[in-house]
Structure 1
């Protein structure tokens, strides 16, 4: 028999023992069963505690089994992978629980009548009423804030990327960073101070101004990153043909990055759609339908949720309306995020084969 044939029959010394593919699932099931047993014997009634015990046992069990079969080096790799999965579950489980609870409690009164009627003369303790006035208020306030904040944010990002040099650009960047972290109540207090100076009553457009302040730094940052991703070769090719810089930005840079810019704007809209504090200070709330954002108090979905829950005692009609409005707001934000993903795919650069 030749040397090559003998070498083929011998097992490779570089390949050690390996756990089967189903071993992580088996370890996870065993850890979960042992955690339930420990929790039951120890008198722990919280499922969160059971889950944490199961996660700890899963990590320890993965290391022990892998170290015994595959060696310590491979065991450390499997432990790192297990930690990633545990962190993923710790992030997903509360989110799924939140959505499930909102859907379970929100569908009780969520119907066509609820979406097409306002509170009007319905008291908070009485059944009936709806969120039509709050939907109109949210759409108008968020829409006006977008018309103000999106163009200013995009133009500011264009200045910082294409023209920004020296101390002015550094100052603008610094203030954008500061505005990114300010609480929403601060923006509301700023607009409220102006309203008090001019002796103005609460109205919807005041809330739009506060929301625009919160929206602008998000738009600036997202647009700035998208503009930086545009290759400089495209700019240089356009400038080499004698095209002015402003036209290069308008015809080359912006069309190339329009997908990411639009996605950033839509995500910033979803961010401000759930703000309550500035709306509470500036818009004040109104149970009746007010389609004029420049006169009189208005309502909005976040403000409606806050007022209904505050006027409930943990149950009753107002409590159910608060959960139904929360479900509507989550659906609105979800639609915006799906729209942002669709726009990003639609405007993504097409690569030919």
Structure 2
């Protein structure tokens, strides 16, 4: 059971984490000596072959538009209010588009790629690790132990490079980059869905392989410790079927630390997803983050980072609240 007092404490902790992340996210870009408005206007004037007469007036006007002419404390308060309202204003690099509209276009791609990858890696890695840690495990499965060690030690973007070289350059089975073919028309059809799946296969494989090895090794170690517990010996002495002991006694008791490890790795997985999306030119949040850093688009960078922090915090809260379902011994209540 979950008490109201505990739920309030967890929500207050989530708000504190969000406020801290928002503050850090606000002040770090301000440390840069670059002026994104001036750089963008000078680049536009140079590419258009125009002189730079009136540049200072334009810079001042754009600074007023984006609130960059205000004192730092006023900019900070405005940024905090934007976090509460989930409204991050206009993008500096893609003006007059709003940050919310840009994120809205890119977020479904990241959610589809990231969520599917982490769920597949967690399910397969947990099952594989449980089998590897079970004494009656077939010998041929043990070849996955060194393979899991290898994939867990290699970063996701390096795995992405290897997959691109093997399946895109050499075998030419999958496309190099993008989310769908340039000649394809976005529509609700089976052909377009298959085209999306074909483009997402390599980045998804890079993320799954990166996460799967660690999940399998962690579950294997948890199963080895769980198998040595007294209740497992007692269940075997009672003559229970090995399948029941494996599923209901060993795996179920090893799942709680496994879920905890998954939550702790969410931050690393989000960072890996961003790098893999950038590598494959996938139209998700990864490419937006890379572009916003290059042009120092404060508002866009601020909005994307806060969305990612909020997603990790919410996922952590949800997993924390479902712990009692995984282990009935856990009670979030007074007394």
TM-score normalised by length of structure 2: 0.59
Equivalent residues in 2 for 1:1-353 (5 A)?
100-102=23-25, 107=80, 110=83, 111-112=85-86, 124-126=94-96, 128-130=98-100, 131-163=103-135, 171-193=143-165, 194-196=167-169, 197-200=172-175, 202-203=178-179, 204-230=200-226, 231-275=228-272, 276-282=274-280, 284-285=281-282, 298-299=283-284, 301-310=285-294, 312=295, 314=296, 318-344=297-323, 347-348=326-327, 350=329
- Partner secondary structure for residue 265 of structure 2: helix
Which residue of structure 2 lines up, in the alignment, with residue 292 of structure 1? none
Quote the offset at 1:150 in angstroms. 1.4
- Partner secondary structure for residue 226 of structure 1: helix
- How much is the aligned-residue C-alpha RMSD, in angstroms? 3.6
Do the aligned partners of 2:149 and 2:214 also contact (CA within 8 Å) in 1? no
Do the aligned partners of 2:93 and 2:292 also contact (CA within 8 Å) in 1? no
Q: Distance in 2 between matches of 1:101 and 1:338?
A: 21
**Number of residue pairs matched by the alignment:** 236
After superposition, what is the alpha-carbon deviation per residue over 1:84-131, rounded to whole angstroms, capped at 9, x for unaligned? xxxxxxxxxxxx97652215666475544559x9x9xx9625452421
Quote the offset at 1:168 in angstroms. 5.5
Quote the offset at 1:212 in angstroms. 0.9
- Whose relative contact order is higher, 1 or 2, with alpha carbons under 8 Å and at least 6 apart? 2
Where structure 2 has 5 or more consecutive residues not aligned to the other structure, the ranges are 1-18, 28-75, 180-199
Quote the offset at 1:229 in angstroms. 3.7
Q: Distance in 1 between matches of 2:127 and 2:322?
A: 21
After superposition, what is the alpha-carbon deviation per residue over 1:278-333, rounded to whole angstroms, capped at 9, x for unaligned? 21122x14xxxxxxxxxxxx31x3332122222x2x3xxx3221122112211222
After superposition, what is the alpha-carbon deviation per residue over 1:35-72, rounded to whole angstroms, capped at 9, x for unaligned? xxxxxxxxxxxxxxxxxxxxxxxxxxxxxxxxxxxxxx
Q: Distance in 2 between matches of 1:305 and 1:107?
A: 20
Quote the offset at 1:270 in angstroms. 3.9
Q: Distance in 1 between matches of 2:141 and 2:174?
A: 36
Q: Which has the larger radius of gyration?
A: 1
Do the aligned partners of 1:219 and 1:268 also contact (CA within 8 Å) in 2? no
Quote the offset at 1:140 in angstroms. 0.9
Where structure 1 has 5 or more consecutive residues not aligned to the other structure, the ranges are 1-95, 286-297
Quote the offset at 1:211 in angstroms. 1.2
